[in-house]
Amino acid sequence: MSCVDDKRFIMTLLDFNNLFKSKLSSKIETNELDEFFFWLIEHYCNFSRMNYILNSNFNISKIQERKLINSIDLLMNDMPIQYIIGETNFMDLVFKLNNNVLIPRPETEELVNWIINDTHVNKNILDIGTGSGCIAISLSKNLNNCNVSGWDFNDDIIKIANQNAILNNVKVLFEVSDITKPKFLNDKFDVLVSNPPYITNSEKKLISNNVKSFEPHSALFVEDNDPLYFYKKILEFAIFNLKSNGFLYLEINENFSKEVLKLLKDNGFYDIQLKKDFRLKNRMIKGIKK
């Protein structure tokens, strides 16, 4: 019988750390494993990294032990840790997550920082395909006097976006709205931003299993025969609903950066800029509507 199964055994955080690493060291890189360990004890035991360093022999409760050990099983089965603990950090804010929404990525933080650094003030901003609301909420938090909205295509997604707005104490108008269906609005936007689905089905084989098995495919993948489908729909929307001299910001697939750039040019955008991410890949683009 293992020490974990023995009801008389009282597990310490150090014991859990040893168990955690023995089970997962062959699956997860060391630096990431350490980070995951501290995420878990912070979430389930309210124990910070510093607290652990000072008191690694802290006895955890049986309830905490069950949750921590279950997290090992989930990680062994490729579940992303963000879904295990039900939240993640983005732009120094906390966002609740479930598998209806994508896990926000560092590249998207770069897109948001680009918009923030352009210092938009008193603007109407729309985040298309808002997911967890991370882009819209971060913009609302960091831009002055802007009215920010976020759209996505079903209630389950908008529900979690609204929870995150409350959690982060911002006002964002989240609505169920499908960008693929034509709209002509009376009130036009000054800024549009989107991180739409852009991974082609043929690229799925390059995607890690923890993404393919757990994150929503509707937010990730597009058909090989029309990889720019969502960009075309966004531009159709922008023609009628983005103000003249309004800004469009998009996260993109590096393999189609030239095609997206041409699409913006063909639809009357100027001062178009491609921007590289921290991996030096063309992953975002900005244009201004004529």
Residues 68, 146 within the same domain: no
- End-to-end, the C-alpha distance of the chain in Å comes to 72
pLDDT tens digit sequence for 264-289: 999 999 999 999 999 999 999 999 99
Residue 44 lies in a domain: yes
**Percent of the residues in the chain that have a pLDDT greater than 70, as a whole number:** 97
**Percent of the residues in the chain that have a pLDDT greater than 90, as a whole number:** 96
- Give the whole-angstrom CA distance, residue 183 versus residue 241: 8
Residues 67, 110 within the same domain: no
Average pLDDT score over the chain: 95
Most distant pair of Cα atoms in the chain: their distance: 72
Residue 210 lies in a domain: yes
User: Angle at the Cα of 158 (from 112 to 127), degrees rounded to 5?
Assistant: 30
Closest to 167 (Cα-Cα) out of 111, 95, 116: 95
Residue 186 lies in a domain: yes
The range of the structural domain enclosing residue 197 comes to 87-289
Domain at 112, CATH number: 3.40.50.150
Number of domains forming the structure of the chain: 2
Residues 29, 138 within the same domain: no
Question: Is the pTM value of this prediction over 0.75?
Answer: yes
Question: Which is it for strands 147-152 and 173-176: parallel, antiparallel or unpaired?
Answer: parallel
pLDDT-derived band of residue 8, with 50, 70 and 90 as boundaries? Answer: low
Which two three-digit tokens encode residue 194? 């989107």
Residues 73, 204 within the same domain: no
Residue 8 lies in a domain: no
- Give the whole-angstrom CA distance, residue 170 versus residue 278: 28
Residues 62, 185 within the same domain: no
Q: Which of 28, 55, 77 is the last residue of a domain?
A: 77
Residues 25, 109 within the same domain: no
- Give the whole-angstrom CA distance, residue 290 versus residue 278: 30
Strand partners, 133: none
